[in-house]
Structure 1
């Protein structure tokens, strides 16, 4: 008996839909960029946190406290509406006026929000244990967190699926499509991390 809400044929038919593949590729690129930024933030802020300079360590602690405590979704929404908070950026220079609405696009807001949130996670993760494992955890967490950027109307994997849902009302099948692709991407990331860990172990053994 076939579940009318699941529609397996629709799931299979949309797995390689051009819009879905474009969303997958966008998600991969955003994950790579945010991962690189978050890892760099984690290294820099981590060193500040371990510094004997009270100012540097205090700033680092405050960063981890704020960006590690506020939910990522809330941070994304704040960055997405940054123009409402700072509509006109002057940088303290007379005659310089930057329209934040035009300068800060939804994609830029999403990247900034994710990078800062994942950076706080990286500060805590990197100093502990195996660095390859820590970086792998950051990569997987970042990949999963990219699904939240759809709230900013960005055409990532989940955003594309939601747009398709509005057109054809295949809610469950398309959510299953998104779930399958996230499963594939996260599994690939974990396999890559495992291979990197094995390669590192072999290089240290020689």
Structure 2
């Protein structure tokens, strides 16, 4: 009856829409299942392997010596990041200034400290007394202990990378924003703090977060100058007990735990500064 009415009206019956069939990704699911099986077998072999000595890991994981080393590692990371970004921001401002001397000094600083391995820098500062036994009448051998050397070396190294991160963030701000602030009569400092910096943080936070995690792990290099950070603390223990693998696992688990917490914090900071943009999630 309906077909007859349709023909009578001079229209042809509409065809049923094609049914959409999802593609079968058999190969992908097979590969995923194989990866999961391999991961499970690897995890099982680690847990059931007595050579890892998990009982020893549990014994030393929260021992006073390890916790003191962890505390020094966290303190050193926070101080180096704070001082490094303070100096790096100053260097970035110098690099963006119209003064050729300030630009050259900033460029030369970044070039030198990015070209020199951090281990070489630390060893150089550790032996600074051989070059300058006295500065202003003060014996440098007694002035610069291992912790002070670690702070100086890591900060100067960190500042070179922080300067480029901050400079890139400032350059990411649209020039029209700065010109609009100038037309409103805002001073240079207020323009930077109210207009430039909040927008630049969207570009600064992701690499800064990666630098923070890298600095946390990079502090382990100060063990070569006898700073009792997390790695050096476990080394002192396994040099006495000869339980190398479980003590290295203690340090590894602590590094993984702290970097995971920092990664979560970085995610929320990035989301905060990405509000109102397509990157917000």
Pairwise same-fold verdict (TM > 0.5): yes
Structure 1 residue 170 corresponds to structure 2 residue 210: no
Structure 1 residue 73 corresponds to structure 2 residue 113: no
Identify the residue that residue 183 of structure 1 maps to in structure 2.
256
- Residues 96-123 of structure 1, C-alpha deviation per residue, up to 9 Å, x if partnerless? x111011111100000000000111111
Identify the residue that residue 11 of structure 2 maps to in structure 1.
none
Identify the residue that residue 233 of structure 2 maps to in structure 1.
160
Which structure would you say has the larger RCO, counting Cα contacts within 8 Å and 6 or more residues apart? Answer: 1
1:80-91 counterparts in 2 under 5 A?
80-90=126-136
8 A Cα contact 2:96 2:167, kept in partner: no
Residue 154 (structure 1) shift? 0.8
8 A Cα contact 1:10 1:173, kept in partner: yes
Distance 2:275 2:167 in 1: 22
Identify the residue that residue 112 of structure 1 maps to in structure 2.
152
Identify the residue that residue 270 of structure 2 maps to in structure 1.
197
Distance 1:31 1:121 in 2: 15
Name segments (4+ residues, structure 1) moved above 6 Å.
none
Alignment match of 2:85 (pick from 39, 51, 71): 39
Greater shift, 41-50 or 195-204, is seen at 195-204
Structure 2 runs not aligned, ≥5 long: 1-44, 170-202
TM-score, structure 2 normalization: 0.67
- Residues 65-91 of structure 1, C-alpha deviation per residue, up to 9 Å, x if partnerless? 11111111111111111112211113x
Which structure: larger Rg? 2
1:85-104 counterparts in 2 under 5 A?
85-90=131-136, 97-104=137-144
Cα RMSD for the two superposed structures: 1.7
8 A Cα contact 1:48 1:57, kept in partner: yes
TM-score, structure 1 normalization: 0.90
1:120-159 counterparts in 2 under 5 A?
120-129=160-169, 130-159=203-232
Distance 1:133 1:107 in 2: 29
8 A Cα contact 2:84 2:158, kept in partner: yes
